[in-house]
Amino acid sequence: MRIATTYDNATGEIFQHFGRSQYLKVYTVEDGKVTGSEVIDASASGGHEALAMVLRAHGVDQLICGGIGGGAVSALSSLGIKILPGITGSADAAVQALLDGSLAHNDPAYVAAHHAHEGGCCH
């Protein structure tokens, strides 16, 4: 399994605006444990649809992120990528919490609606 997070490369925390993510951190998980990770420079991707394709190209099954808009939710869902939005803090800790079954996340519909009120779509 491959799990990705939006990533703030300076702090190691989850970046809070999917459509403006410059980095993604992708974790390889085998037998419920992280066996590797890599930080991907996504700064040249160009928006949420392009970011979705980057995730697909890296074989990502699940995405942990902060805020995410409706267009991104649609793009990721159409590729079969499960979205775990509304997460803050350390990317590594969030992935571990997901693996432990303790990651509390918001419903994508809630985050998409909330995100729209904070400045519109991610173009």
User: CATH number of the domain at 2-116, out of 3.30.70.270, 3.30.420.130, 3.10.450.40, 2.60.120.430?
Assistant: 3.30.420.130
In this prediction, residue 112 carries a pLDDT of: 56
In this prediction, residue 111 carries a pLDDT of: 59
In this prediction, residue 117 carries a pLDDT of: 43
Q: Is there a contact between 75 and 49 (Cβ–Cβ < 8 Å)?
A: yes
Q: Would you give per-residue pLDDT tens digits along the chain (123 residues)?
A: 999 999 999 999 999 989 889 999 999 999 999 999 999 999 877 777 889 999 999 999 999 999 888 888 889 999 999 999 999 999 999 999 999 999 987 765 555 555 544 444 444
In this prediction, residue 123 carries a pLDDT of: 40
Q: Is there a contact between 84 and 98 (Cβ–Cβ < 8 Å)?
A: yes
Distances (CA, A) of 119 to 82, 83, 91, 95, 116: 24, 21, 24, 28, 6
> In one letter, which amino acid is 12?
G
In this prediction, residue 63 carries a pLDDT of: 97
For the record, the structure tokens of 87 come out as: 């997460």
Please state, in angstroms and rounded to a whole number, the distance separating the CA atoms of residues 20 and 103.
Answer: 23
Domain boundaries along the sequence of the chain: 2-116
CA 15 from centroid of its chain's CA atoms: 8
In this prediction, residue 23 carries a pLDDT of: 95
DSSP per-residue codes, 1-68: -EEEEEEBTTTTBPPSBGGG-SEEEEEEEETTEEEEEEEEE-TTS-SHHHHHHHHHHTT--EEE-SB-
